[in-house]
Amino acid sequence: MTEAAPKPAPVAEDILRKAVASRFDFREIIALPVISVVIALILGAVTMLATGVGIETIGRSFVALFVGSFGSVHALSETLTSATPLILCGLGLALGFRAGLFNIGAEGQLILGGIAAVAVGFMLTGLPTIIHLPLAIIAGMVAGALWASIAGWLKAATGAHEVITTIMLNFIAYRLTDYLLRNPPIQKEGRTDPISESVLASAQLPKLLAGLDPSLRIHFGLIIALVAVVLVYWLLFRSTVGFEFRASGANPDAARYAGMRSGWIIVVVMACAGALAGLAGANQVLGVLGRASPNFSAGIGFDAIAVALLGRSHPVGVLFAGILFGALQAGGRQMQVAAGVSIDLIAIIQALIIVFIAAPLLVRAIVPWSFRARAGARAGAR
Amino acid sequence: MDIELRGITKRFGSVVANSDVNLKIRAGEILGLLGENGAGKTTLMNVLSGLYRPDEGEILIDGKPVYFRGAGDAIRAGIGMVHQHFMLVPVFTVAENVVLGVEPVKALDRLDIKTARAQVRAISTEHGLEVDPDAIIEEIPVGLQQRVEIIKVLFRSASAIIFDEPTAVLTPQEVVEFFGIIRSLREAGKALVFITHKLGEVLQVADRISVLRAGKIVGEGDPKTATSADLAEMMVGRPVRFAIEKRTTSPGGPLLEVKGLTVLNERDEIAVRGIDFTVREGEIVGIAGVQGNGQTELVEALTGLRRAAAGTVTFAGNDITHASARERHRQLIAHIPEDRQRSGLIADFTVAENAVLDRYYAPPFSSGILMHWPEAYAEAARIVRDFDVRTASIHTHAGNLSGGNQQKLVVGRELGHDTKFLIAAQPTRGIDVGSIEYIHERIAKARDEGDGILIVSTELDEVMSLSDRILVMFRGRIVAEFDGRTATVKEVGLAMAGVVS
């Protein structure tokens, strides 16, 4: 073989490689994420210890974390409500990862999707839910898809790296949102602060368990997210488009050799990812918030990167990772109330999870037995 | 220094890579270690160089048992390894690379480049390894880079040197120079191991030959008496035919016509200079040439992966000069790419996914955007069976297959269905003798079925044994044409070097 020494992979490519698990590999898909989460939780406890939190309080906060996420119907509803946009947005990012695109712009796509959904949600009047709601959702998806396509087109046409362009598009999306929220027709009449009109009842995602208890926030968006998991799985593994996505991500040279059009694929992948992020934004404004305000996205677009990484860019993995992160969010709020531990700790734990996923060797060093057989199997294949 | 390996066994999980291997390496002698890919050569040498610890057996140096806990121990014991893929820093100079890790330093830990340079010079002159200590690695040819690797090993006072497939990356001229170097190291009393799967080379240069098959030493040979056929049979475990039967073919009408084709490389330099040739039905045309004379660009232009700057390409009467890769594929032009791992296969995809990599978009493997996986699986199973691809299953990742089996998978995908034309670049590079024989047979069979075939290879033997007609490419031009039945290695070799009568 005459291939040159492997080129040092740029950081983004390196993370991408780790973000996509080989299918059917228990250690890659289950063991690594689970161990990462456990170690991150332990280190979270260590962080609390180091900052002078008593053992008893730490114990209480972990109990609160669990009770607040899975301990009751209400807790479960909160977990799933928080998980829904993370799953949707994470699916979009996973699609990008599979195709070798490191899309940092989910946040911007999500915000604009939300704004578009709000606009359709209050501007169109007199429509029944069955028409109005889908229109609002589609508006969100289209806005997200168009916004993401800009980055895709820039990459395909000029080679501009998507990490740079999507970050910049995020900033533009933030400021554009601020502008829209301060000006008619989006701004609520009679207000001077940046806030949108409220979404009409006919465009809101129906609550699923309102009959049981009106305070249960879980809504129809969860069903949409579950359908999206199935659709994305189908797209990735059962369609020719997904085959092209995966081929381009795993080996762009081979994809080109096989006659795939790389530019077209990049734009389509970004559009799909943007549509899912926009759907997540629509889900928030139509299902939870009822309107848009600055920072309504609450960093979901960034947390979703962690969800996609933790889920190893597999739709089912993203589903579980999204539920876990949703649980951390819901449980974290309970923890803050019950044990007085700042919810920032949750952010620390989430960040640690990403660190461990991105650095499997670290996990291996901490828990050596978890990867021993794998190393042997790989060497044996030589 | 004499080294003895006694009863070395190395397992990876349930795979036995080396089984009870006994080997003697003597000072002032070149041991040729011959074996197919996956026979366990590299594992064995990694045991010797301290990278792996054997599960059983021991290593003796000058009769005394030694234990290596890592590569550092082996280096200190005087064992050096020149890897197939060089371990050099491309932007550093020769001298900097040589001393890397054991740098001579001045006060305050500053690199003493003067001393380093002098030390490199001393070693170069002592062993006739001429190289400029101040040259930047990425600017010197591969042959010189290899010398730097050898100097590096000598600099660390190695008395035994292991060469892992040292000739794989060299041009024929560089191979000759390499043989000179290894012989002079032998005269200097070094113990040398030459790992390869190329029979001719061991016969030329080795003093003793050991053959490894499936992790076991299956035979020893004396290069003075052994023949290629004996050694090949030992390596593969069955008799091997070297020559493809050349029928007196009666090629049909012209199929691929290339006129005035000019192609640029990445740096916008002219790589292919207005060449003309024709390949007819039922004919194998071989393009010989030293690597880097425009063959890669030619193949890419013919397969639609690179734009033609000028000229025309006509296939079966249709102008395909600007057709996309897929359009050409639809016209039943198959393409075995030069580098299976870079573009022929996707290592993270399964055998089945790779089996339909360039045919997934049409029935029976898909309709609309819906993939028909059962049909793809059936196709993969057929290729695996018909082309003797050794794999655990069609759901195994292609990256886990040996090089030969990966290549058979690519060949199977390209030739395993109805084709009219085949463009094969380096179809047997870096694979074992058994697979080479098999792939050559399949290519000849496609020819016999009336396909036009263009083979581009830097392996002169390959071009000579397969082609009905041989074209020689030199600096972007076709400088000579020979009849495949009468051409001699000497005249083709001279044309490859640009010497045309």
Amino acid at site B86: F
Report the distance separating Cα B325 and Cα B321, nearest Å: 11
A189 touches chain B (CB under 8 A): no
* Confidence band for B405, pLDDT divided at 50, 70 and 90: confident
Among residues B92, B91, B46, B106, the alpha carbon closest in space to that of B70 is found at: B46
Distance of alpha carbon B288 from alpha carbon B298, whole angstroms: 12
Q: What is the ipTM of this complex?
A: 0.81
Q: What is the DSSP letter of B105?
A: B
pLDDT of residue A232: 96
Chain A residues close to B85, C-beta within 8 Å: 3, 5
Q: Would you state the pLDDT for residue B401?
A: 85
Residues 6+ apart with CB under 8 A from A360: A18, A32, A371
Burial class (CB in 10 A: 0-12, 13-18, 19+), A379: middle
Could you tell me the strand order of the sheet in which B3-12 lies?
B15-25, B3-12, B56-61, B64-66
User: Hey, is the C-beta of A295 within 8 angstroms of any chain B C-beta?
Assistant: no
Of B305, B258, B310, which is closest to residue B280 (Cα–Cα)? B258
Q: Do A5 and B12 touch (CB under 8 A)?
A: no
Which amino acid is it at A311?
Answer: G
b/e burial code for range B439-478 (CB count within 10 A of at least 16 → b): bbebbbebbeeebbbbbbbbbbebbbbbbbbbbbbbebeb
Cis (ω within 30 of 0) for the bond into B239?
A: no
How are strands ordered across the β-sheet holding B29-35? Answer: B79-82, B160-164, B191-196, B29-35, B208-213, B216-221
> How is residue A199 annotated by DSSP?
P
Residues in chain B with CB shorter than 8 Å from the CB of A233 are: none
List chain A residues with CB under 8 Å of B337. 257
Report the Cα A55 to chain-centroid distance in Å. Answer: 33
pLDDT at B249: 64
Give Cα separations from B126 to B116, B123, B137, B155, B175 (angstroms).
Answer: 15, 5, 21, 12, 20
B381 pLDDT tier (thresholds 50, 70, 90): very high
Mean per-residue pLDDT over chain A, rounded: 86
The answer, for A159 touching chain B at a CB cutoff of 8 Å, is: no
From CA B413, how far away is CA B365, in angstroms rounded?
13
Helix axes A106-123, A262-284, angle to 10 degrees: 50
Q: What is the pLDDT of residue A323?
A: 94
Task: Detail the DSSP E strand segments found in B405-459.
Answer: 421-425, 452-457
Q: What are phi and psi of A54, to 5 degrees?
A: -70, 155
Q: Are A152 and A162 in contact (CB under 8 A)?
A: yes
Yes or no, beta carbons of A3 and B339 under 8 Å apart: yes
Chain B residues whose CB is inside 8 A of the A379 CB are: 12
Q: Residue B453 pLDDT more than 90?
A: yes
pLDDT the model gives residue A6 = 38
How many angstroms separate the CA atoms of A206 and A209, rounded? 9
Spell out the alpha helix ranges (H) of B102-170.
113-127, 142-155
Q: Where are the beta strands (DSSP E) in B396-451?
A: 421-425
Alpha-carbon gap: B185 to the closest alpha carbon of chain A (Å) = 25
Query: Does the beta carbon of B416 lie under 8 angstroms from any beta carbon of chain A?
Result: no
* DSSP secondary structure, A32-73, as one string: HHHHHHHHHHHHHHHHHHHTT--HHHHHHHHHHHHHHHHSSH
- Say whether pLDDT at B83 is over 80: yes
**Residue A112: per-residue pLDDT:** 96
Q: Report pLDDT for A174.
A: 93
Instruction: Write the CA distances from B312 to A20, B133, B328, B472, integer angstroms.
Output: 42, 47, 14, 20
Least confident of B33-47, B370-384, B475-489: B33-47
Q: Name chain B contacts of A20, Cβ cutoff 8 Å.
A: 348
Q: Which helix (H) or strand (E) holds A240?
A: helix A240-250
Q: Among A134-143, A225-234, B133-142, B403-412, which stretch is predicted with the lowest mean pLDDT?
A: B133-142
Q: Is A246 on the interface with B (CB under 8 A)?
A: yes
Other C-beta atoms lying within 10 Å of the C-beta of residue A230: 12
With a CB cutoff of 8 Å and minimum separation 6, the contacts of A275 are A92, A141, A142, A144, A145, A148
Contacts of B213 (CB under 8 A, 6+ apart): B35, B36, B39, B234, B235, B236, B237
Q: Give B26's DSSP letter.
A: -
Report chain A (382 residues): mean pLDDT per 10 consecutive residues: 39 63 62 85 88 84 89 91 96 94 93 95 90 95 97 92 93 93 84 86 88 88 96 94 93 92 93 97 93 89 91 91 92 86 85 82 68 39 33
> What pLDDT shows up at residue A262?
87
Residue B64 to residue A303: CA distance in whole angstroms: 60
Say yes or no: B339 contacts chain A, CB-CB below 8 A. Answer: yes
Q: Which of B291, B371, B423, B435 is most worth mutating to test chain A (most A CB atoms within 10 A of its CB)?
A: B371
Tens-place pLDDT, residues A294-350: 889 888 999 999 899 888 889 999 999 999 999 999 998 888 888 888 888 888 888
Please name which of B402, B380, B375 lies closest in space to residue B390, comparing C-alpha atoms: B402
pLDDT at A368: 66
Give the sign of the dihedral formed by CA A205, CA A206, CA A208, CA A209: positive
- The upper half-sphere exposure of residue B451, i.e. CA atoms within 13 Å in the direction of its Cβ, equals 27
Report pTM.
Answer: 0.77
| C-alpha A340: how far from chain center | 28
A382 at the B interface (CB within 8 A)? yes
% of chain B at pLDDT higher than 70: 96
Write the CA distances from A105 to A144, A210, A302, B356, B438, integer angstroms. 10, 34, 8, 33, 50
Distance between CA A26 and CA A4 in Å, rounded?
33
Q: Cβ neighbours of residue B254 under 8 Å, at least 6 residues apart?
A: B278, B279, B280, B281
Q: What is the CA radius of gyration of chain B?
A: 25
> Token digits for A133?
């709601």
Q: How far is CA B72 from CA B75, B78, B164, in A?
A: 5, 10, 18
Distance CA B457, CA B337 (A): 11
Identify the sign of the CA torsion B171, B173, B176, B177.
Answer: negative
Q: Which of residues 20-39 of A touch B (CB under 8 A)?
A: 20, 22, 24
Give percent of chain B above pLDDT 90: 38
Answer whether A376 sits within 8 Å of B353, measured CB to CB: no
* Tens-digit pLDDT profile for residues B4-25: 999 999 887 777 888 899 999 9
The rounded distance, in Å, linking the Cα atoms of B243 and B425 is 19
pLDDT band at residue B383 under the 50/70/90 scheme = very high
* Cβ <8 Å between A240 and B366: yes
Higher pLDDT, B420 or B340: B420
What residues contact B189, with CB distance under 8 A and at least 6 apart? B27, B28, B159
Q: What is the pLDDT of residue A4?
A: 36
Chain centre to alpha carbon of residue A60: 29
**Nearest residue on chain A to B17, judged by CA atoms?**
A380
The nearest CA of chain B is from the CA of A246 a distance in Å of 9
pLDDT tens-place string over residues B307-340: 999 999 999 999 999 999 999 999 999 999 988 8
Q: Return the bridge partners of B319, or none.
A: B314
Alpha carbon distance A324, A350 (integer Å): 10
Six-digit token string for B32: 């040729």
Tokens of A98: 């599979």
| Lowest mean pLDDT across A99-113, B219-233, B373-387 | B219-233
Q: In the prediction, which pLDDT does B146 show? A: 86
Interface membership of A375 toward B (CB under 8 Å): no
One-letter amino acid of A161: H
B12 in A contact zone (CB under 8 Å): yes
User: Looking at the DSSP assignment, which residues form a beta bridge with residue B422?
Assistant: B334, B453
Enclosing H/E stretch for A111: helix A106-123
